[in-house]
Amino acid sequence: MTSVLKNRKVMFAVACFLILGVAPLMFKGLQYGMDFSGGTLIQINLDLTKNESIDTQTVVTVLQNRINSFGLKDVSIKPWGNPVTYIIVEVAETDPAAINEIQSIIGQQGKFETMFEGNVILSGKDVISVLTDPQQGYGMRTATSGVEWSVPFLVSAEGADAMAKSIEGKCSTPQLENCPETLYMFIDRPENAVIVMPNELANAEQTIPESLSKSDAGTTGVALEDLVKNSGGELIISSTVTADVLNKTAGKTVIVPPGYYNESDFSTADKVVVKQKISDYWTVDALNLDNIIHLTPGVTAGKPITRPLITGNAATPAEAKKEMERVVILLKSGKLPVSVSVGSVSTISPALGSEFLTYSVYAGIIAMAVVAVCLFVRYRKPKVTTPILITLVFEITMTLGIASLIGWQMDLPSVAGIIAAIGTGIDDQIVIVDEVRRKEKDEDDVTSVASKIKRAFSIVFMSAGLHIFAMLPLLFMGLGVLKGFAITTIIGVIVGVFVTRPAYGAIVDKYAA
């Protein structure tokens, strides 16, 4: 036994076991993914109808910036598909209210635009920074219609100049404090869109207050037709889908309220979006309108505005704060290079995740016990089977330790990868043992034990190469959720081939001799 431990290959395996396995697990520990720690998985669908190829890293960075604003830890954002068709977002949060808020933020493209007379005069690319200093206008204040909030932001000199030129001299009543002309601010304004609404809804929203709050109904407002026109869209008021409606919506994005139409009725449309009502007015939600601002004589004099405001109203301080923070997050993070929508959402509670982890550990112990029994039944020699089980423990420990070192989160696919690697390792060691035992049964074969082990290792290396090669598509072709399986499998195979398999070969060589 002492002579075996002095073997260089065995000593190297023990050193790797302590340095790469035991030490990382003791001092750093494992990071657990959503499967074991609990959390929520959100699928973000990417609209690639107009964007055949996108910068995936930009999408990930923008989403990361938005989620970071919530102060969440253990956030995982993984592209999926080749080419990438959607993004998988995993967050360590299970509270339904918080998840809904996160969905509302990451489910928006975040394209900021200021419109005047149906034209874009200021966009998100002109925004330099968002000002969150109360001394500069940021914050909430009590108003007659609830709570008013405001978010100031700085725009570039080029953007301010372009905006000034677009509205210069546009005030029709320069003698008054405010001009009748207005600016409209949108976040994710629908493009090439037709708003279709029934007569009863159109009558209820015939005039929309400039505050966008129902408590100001009856005050100065914007006509429904003018609002849609200034968004660059079209308005159709019809309770039924007629031939004329189909003709006008051909090739367009149709936006409808829920419960009034069947999506399949708009057979000529490019896309049908059923928009839910969140604010006081459905039209405001359909257009993603954030603000209506009156021009003033001073503003239309041609002087650039470098610090405009986005303002709004809410019924309660909590709602005002939530809306204000949403605008700040979207302006700060920038827009996504493609339109997005929230797909499936699944949540695993921390208690259920803990159960998964416990069951995984039990399954591993049972699997090792079954393997041990099978090996003892086959070989009936502890000096052959015990080293196999010891190297099995070494491989598992080193694979977990390396996963800890690289910061990989352990999830169910990762555990499956470890099991696959361990299965490969046991198979390799059986090949080594059987190759040596074949010599014992063949009296005419004078080939040395070392030569037999060397021939067995040619099989082992070929098998390892094939396993690693098979994992490369999962690792590099964008199949994000299965990367854990590929990574742990590759780590386990490499550890086995270069650390534990040579050590086991040295042990077999010693005992066979």
Each of the 513 residues of the chain gets a pLDDT tens digit; together they read: 566 677 788 889 899 999 999 999 999 988 888 888 888 888 888 887 665 567 778 888 888 888 877 776 667 888 877 677 888 888 877 788 888 888 888 888 888 898 888 888 888 888 888 888 888 889 998 877 778 888 888 888 888 888 888 888 887 777 666 777 788 989 889 989 999 999 999 999 999 988 888 877 777 788 999 999 989 999 999 999 999 999 999 999 999 999 899 988 999 999 899 998 888 899 999 999 988 887 777 666 677 778 887 887 777 888 888 888 888 888 887 778 888 888 888 888 888 888 888 988 888 888 888 888 888 888 888 888 888 888 889 999 999 999 999 888 888 888 888 888 888 888 888 888 887 777 554 544 545 667 777 888 888 888 888 888 888 887 776 555 677 888 888 998 899 888 888 888 888 777 665
pTM comes to 0.65
Helix axes 449-476, 483-495, angle to 10 degrees: 160
Q: In the block, which residue shows the tokens 């499956």?
A: 416
CA distances (Å), origin 89, targets 66, 74, 480: 12, 11, 11
Q: Which residues neighbour 57 within 8 Å (Cβ) at sequence distance 6 or greater?
A: none
CA distance 32 to 492: 18
Helix axes 56-68, 96-106, angle to 10 degrees: 140
Q: What's the burial of 379, exposed, middle or buried (CB within 10 Å: 0-12/13-18/19+)?
A: middle
CA distance 173 to 297: 8
CA distance 152 to 328: 9
Per-residue HEC secondary structure of 359-408 comes to HHHHHHHHHHHHHHHHHHHHHCCHHHHHHHHHHHHHHHHHHHHHHHHCCC
Distance of CA 307 to the CA centre of its chain: 33
All domains of the chain in start order, with CATH: 2-35+349-512 (1.20.1640.10), 42-109+336-344 (3.30.70.3400)
| 75: DSSP letter | -
CA distance 331 to 290: 12
